[in-house]
Amino acid sequence: MSAPQPYVGLALHAVVSLAIALGMVGVAAWMRYRAKRPPQVRYETYECGEEPFGTARARIPVGFYLIALLFLLFDVEAAFLFPWVRELGNLGILAFWEMVIFLGILLLGWFYALRKGDLRWIR
């Protein structure tokens, strides 16, 4: 089996997934019931039965951004980890200690974030 072969299968699968998902939306749009003269209130935003007020385009609380930043940090770390875990068998003890130090620094960073209160949700 040549190298690109599995990727052809992958691409084919992805295309079929796309077709199925969009197809469902399409079929639903084609088959759906259409009200003749729908009451306009049906198309209002849901506000528990009251008239909608205010805007939903409010500024988002800063906590969510902090989570995103932390996630980025740890995700990049995961990206660094993967080549190492793959090649660990060939690299030996030195690589192990190197990674222990790397993870140690990361844990230190995690501890810093913890102490600073970034992992607290209610502030």
The residue type at 64: F
Q: Is residue 78 part of the contact set for other proteins (CB under 8 A)? A: yes
Which 33-52 positions form the footprint of other proteins (CB under 8 A)?
33-35, 38, 42-50, 52
Q: Are 53 and 47 in contact (CB under 8 A)?
A: yes
Q: Is residue 96 part of the contact set for other proteins (CB under 8 A)? A: yes
DSSP state of 32: -
Q: Is residue 114 part of the contact set for other proteins (CB under 8 A)? A: yes
Place of tokens 């993967």: 82
Other Cβ atoms less than 10 A from the Cβ of 104: the count is: 10
Q: Is residue 54 part of the contact set for other proteins (CB under 8 A)? A: yes
CB of 3 to other proteins, least distance (A): 9
